[in-house]
Chain A
Amino acid sequence: MISIQDLHKSYVTGNNSLHVLKGLNLEIKEGEFVSIMGSSGSGKSTLLNILGVLDDYDKGNYYLSGKRIWGLNETQAAITRNAMIGFIFQSFNLISFKNAMENVALPLYYQKVSRKKRNLIAMEYLDRLGLKDWAHHLPSELSGGQKQRVAIARALISNPKIILADEPTGALDSQTSLEVMDILKEVNDQGITVIIVTHEHDIAALTKKIIRLKDGVIGEIITNGDLQNYRNRLTQE
């Protein structure tokens, strides 16, 4: 699903060049449930942006679903994002003047699906996430957990190959965080690859594979079998 070889990325600001990703290699297979961890400055946001086709890279290869992502113009990038990737953000990023249903339907608008049809589909997804009764509410009338569920519905509506979640529980209390993680797990159970960026260990521990970034390369990969160990180590830390 995702194949990254020798990925380099630096940011140039004035005379300073900041080398963030330094030859990163990464393989994520279809249907995996992965979390990416790392201290700030480790390059996890940069990696997420590249994974999400929001940013380009300087050197290396990034294959998404067998297709190399390289040298896309903005329109091509937008189409790729729309077709392949569902985004979930820490601060939900719902459009404030649109109600829940319209927010969920937005990706389909960019696929030129008719208004009637996309609102119908949006209602289905809201129903699946238990928000049918809130479909006509504005984001400001919803709780944090509800907002994130709307955002998840929006990420799912275009049938993406990958869900990229940037600190999806960062703005939620622990109870709601667990609920959101349950939903993401269900999504993953349907065969969609889910990648979560987080700095919370207990959230990361709910995934099946943890990738720890360190100084722009992979520091450590903890897979399913080791997760119990990891939990133990966590409690010691």
Chain B
Amino acid sequence: MFDVDIWQEIFSTIKKNKLRTFLTGFSVAWGIFMLMVLLGSGNGLSNGVKEQFAENAVNVMWMWTGETSIPYNGLKEGREVKFNNQDYDFLTTKSKDIEKVSSRYYLPNDILYVYGKEYGSFETSTCYPSLKDMENINVKTGRFINDMDMQEFRKVVVIGDEIRKALFKEEDPIGKYLKIGGVPFNVVGVSASKKRNQDNNRSAYIPFSTAQRIFNGGNRVHTFTVTSKMVQTAEEAEAITEKVRIDMASRHNFDSKDKRAMGSFNMLTEYIRTMKIFQAISLFVWIIGIGTLIAGIVGVSNIMLILVKERTKEIGIRKALGATPFSVISLVLLESVLITTVAGYIGLVMGVGLMELINFGLEQAAGAGASNMFFKNPTVDFKTAVSATLILILSGALAGYFPSRRAASVTPIEALRDEN
């Protein structure tokens, strides 16, 4: 059935009705074009927001303390709550939902960084080695803080790229000594956020143990950065936060509902909620896109019906000469599939092309310094394109189905009746 002849027959009818074929094809091409543009935009938005999250591990959680605001167990409000090293031990060993933990001890704000004649004030992040993964810290040269640094209270520092530029200019900072609050620290690494204009590049990282000892921290921990185990729903993520709060509340004698006594922010909850929104958007996009496509398909189906009506006589002749219903159906069906597939493919290529062009433009703009976009890589992946192609062929068959049924039901007697 799939020989040259049937295609020749199809092409000859298409050639006879160029405008009609074009208009029909256009509606399908437009449908697919819109679907691709919508999907691409949806992806772009989703990728943009994902990138915002990519600054940290998605399952990261921060905890900090303050003063109690609710009386508890006979204790008055206004009592200061303080984390300590025992809390670290508890979180790492006893808390099942917590995977990695990094403590932080705040250094005074006005602490100075001095190298030779250059000096400046920068943010110091005192941390455990695990912070690297939790906050996605990118080490450009050298290394990050390691376990040996922690154990031996080494005076080492990883500086942000902005600090390197400010203090070291063109010099290689690795192995050089830098004074922080008057204490010399050996520079072991330089970190640089992959994104531009990041505050992280103005931060320096020093081992928590060293900081606590040198800057008179005693047992004090100001904040914890932890990662929780991955869960699928916002409710589960919220339950983990709640569990940790209850643990901490019982350790420090405050009401677990007291947000002022202990603050916390679980990224995972936000991440899951945001991804839910994008799933909804993506579903919405598919619905609209498919709706547009259906309009195109109905157009094709309509045209094919008219075509069958016009060709009633021809179909009657063919049947009288021995055309089986199957051959008549395939004639109409294949024409429909051909029009939808070719036109749809053109729409697909144009839609994907436009999105790639926009992506190119965005990347150029990002290269020029405009970043922090909520729109990134607005392209359609291969899988989506393949499924779109399948949808096309299917929709072509669908568009041709009813007209071809009509064609097959043409009786030669009716068709060949001479209207004298």
Which A residues form the contact surface with B (CB < 8 A)? 49, 52, 54-55, 74-75, 78-79, 81-83, 87, 89-91, 93-98, 106-107, 109-111, 115, 154, 158, 167, 170
Tell me the nearest residue of chain A to B321, going by C-beta: A107
Whether the Cβ atoms of A81 and B326 lie closer than 8 Å is no
Whether the Cβ atoms of A111 and B416 lie closer than 8 Å is no
Minimum CB–CB distance from B330 to chain A (whole Å) comes to 12
Per the bound structure, the CA–CA distance linking A98 and B416 in Å amounts to 18
Whether the Cβ atoms of B324 and A81 lie closer than 8 Å is no
Question: Which residues of chain B come closer than 8 Å to A78, judged between CB atoms?
Answer: 319, 322-325
Whether the Cβ atoms of B418 and A154 lie closer than 8 Å is no
Per the bound structure, the CA–CA distance linking A111 and B324 in Å amounts to 11
A sample of 17 inter-chain contacts (CB < 8 A) reads A49-B413, A52-B320, A54-B412, A75-B325, A78-B322, A78-B324, A87-B320, A87-B321, A93-B320, A95-B318, A96-B314, A97-B13, A97-B16, A109-B5, A110-B321, A110-B322, A110-B324
Minimum CB–CB distance from A46 to chain B (whole Å) comes to 9
Q: Which of B199-246 contact A (CB under 8 A)?
A: none
Minimum CB–CB distance from A138 to chain B (whole Å) comes to 11
Given known A-B contacts A91-B418, A93-B313, A95-B314, A115 and B5 have beta carbons under 8 A apart: yes
Question: Which residues of chain A come closer than 8 Å to B326, judged between CB atoms?
Answer: 75
Selected contact of A82 from candidates B4, B5, B322, B412, CB within 8 Å: B322
Whether the Cβ atoms of A93 and B325 lie closer than 8 Å is no
Per the bound structure, the CA–CA distance linking A115 and B6 in Å amounts to 11
Given known A-B contacts A89-B418, A93-B313, A115-B5, A54 and B321 have beta carbons under 8 A apart: no
Whether the Cβ atoms of B322 and A158 lie closer than 8 Å is yes
Minimum CB–CB distance from A58 to chain B (whole Å) comes to 16
Question: Which residues of chain B come closer than 8 Å to A52, judged between CB atoms?
Answer: 320
Per the bound structure, the CA–CA distance linking A83 and B16 in Å amounts to 31
Cβ of B317 within 8 Å of any chain A Cβ, yes or no, is: yes
Selected contact of B317 from candidates A49, A74, A90, A95, CB within 8 Å: A95
Per the bound structure, the CA–CA distance linking A82 and B412 in Å amounts to 13
Whether the Cβ atoms of A74 and B324 lie closer than 8 Å is yes
The 8 closest A-B pairs by CB, nearest first: A82-B322, A110-B322, A75-B324, A78-B324, A93-B317, A107-B321, A74-B325, A54-B412
Question: Which residues of chain A come closer than 8 Å to B325, judged between CB atoms?
Answer: 74-75, 78
- The interface centre, meaning the residue of A55, A95, A115 with most chain B CB atoms within 10 A of its CB, is A95
Minimum CB–CB distance from A9 to chain B (whole Å) comes to 12
Per the bound structure, the CA–CA distance linking A171 and B252 in Å amounts to 109
Cβ of B12 within 8 Å of any chain A Cβ, yes or no, is: yes
Per the bound structure, the CA–CA distance linking A109 and B324 in Å amounts to 11
Cβ of B3 within 8 Å of any chain A Cβ, yes or no, is: yes
Minimum CB–CB distance from B32 to chain A (whole Å) comes to 30
Given A95-B314, A115-B5, 17 further pairs, Cβ under 8 A: A49-B413, A74-B408, A75-B324, A75-B326, A78-B319, A78-B322, A78-B324, A78-B325, A79-B322, A81-B320, A82-B321, A93-B317, A94-B317, A95-B318, A107-B321, A115-B4, A158-B322
Cβ of B327 within 8 Å of any chain A Cβ, yes or no, is: yes
Minimum CB–CB distance from B20 to chain A (whole Å) comes to 15
Minimum CB–CB distance from B322 to chain A (whole Å) comes to 2
Write the B1-45 contact mask toward A (1 if CB under 8 angstroms, else 0): 001110000001100100000000000000000000000000000
Selected contact of B413 from candidates A55, A91, A96, A109, CB within 8 Å: A55
Question: Which residues of chain B come closer than 8 Å to A93, judged between CB atoms?
Answer: 313, 316-317, 320, 416
Minimum CB–CB distance from A227 to chain B (whole Å) comes to 28
Given known A-B contacts A97-B12, A97-B13, A81 and B322 have beta carbons under 8 A apart: yes
Minimum CB–CB distance from B254 to chain A (whole Å) comes to 84
- The interface centre, meaning the residue of A93, A98, A170 with most chain B CB atoms within 10 A of its CB, is A93
Question: Which residues of chain A come closer than 8 Å to B418, judged between CB atoms?
Answer: 89-91, 167, 170
Minimum CB–CB distance from B87 to chain A (whole Å) comes to 82
Question: Which residues of chain A come closer than 8 Å to B4, judged between CB atoms?
Answer: 115
Minimum CB–CB distance from B413 to chain A (whole Å) comes to 5
Per the bound structure, the CA–CA distance linking A95 and B408 in Å amounts to 18
Per the bound structure, the CA–CA distance linking A58 and B12 in Å amounts to 40
Tell me the nearest residue of chain B to A110, going by C-beta: B322
Per the bound structure, the CA–CA distance linking A109 and B186 in Å amounts to 88
Tell me the nearest residue of chain A to B311, going by C-beta: A95
Per the bound structure, the CA–CA distance linking A74 and B327 in Å amounts to 12
Minimum CB–CB distance from B135 to chain A (whole Å) comes to 71
Per the bound structure, the CA–CA distance linking A89 and B416 in Å amounts to 8
Per the bound structure, the CA–CA distance linking A55 and B416 in Å amounts to 13
Question: Which residues of chain A come closer than 8 Å to B416, judged between CB atoms?
Answer: 89, 93
Minimum CB–CB distance from B159 to chain A (whole Å) comes to 78
Given known A-B contacts A54-B413, A89-B418, A110 and B323 have beta carbons under 8 A apart: yes
Q: Which of B342-393 contact A (CB under 8 A)?
A: none
Question: Which residues of chain B come closer than 8 Å to A81, judged between CB atoms?
Answer: 320-322
Tell me the nearest residue of chain B to A94, going by C-beta: B317
Q: Which of B153-185 contact A (CB under 8 A)?
A: none
Tell me the nearest residue of chain B to A107, going by C-beta: B321
Whether the Cβ atoms of A154 and B320 lie closer than 8 Å is no
Q: Which of B223-281 contact A (CB under 8 A)?
A: none
Minimum CB–CB distance from A105 to chain B (whole Å) comes to 9
Minimum CB–CB distance from B16 to chain A (whole Å) comes to 6
Minimum CB–CB distance from B325 to chain A (whole Å) comes to 5
Question: Which residues of chain B come closer than 8 Å to A115, judged between CB atoms?
Answer: 3-5
Minimum CB–CB distance from A211 to chain B (whole Å) comes to 21
Per the bound structure, the CA–CA distance linking A82 and B4 in Å amounts to 21
Minimum CB–CB distance from A45 to chain B (whole Å) comes to 8
Tell me the nearest residue of chain B to A87, going by C-beta: B320
Per the bound structure, the CA–CA distance linking A107 and B418 in Å amounts to 21
Whether the Cβ atoms of A107 and B13 lie closer than 8 Å is no
Whether the Cβ atoms of A106 and B324 lie closer than 8 Å is no
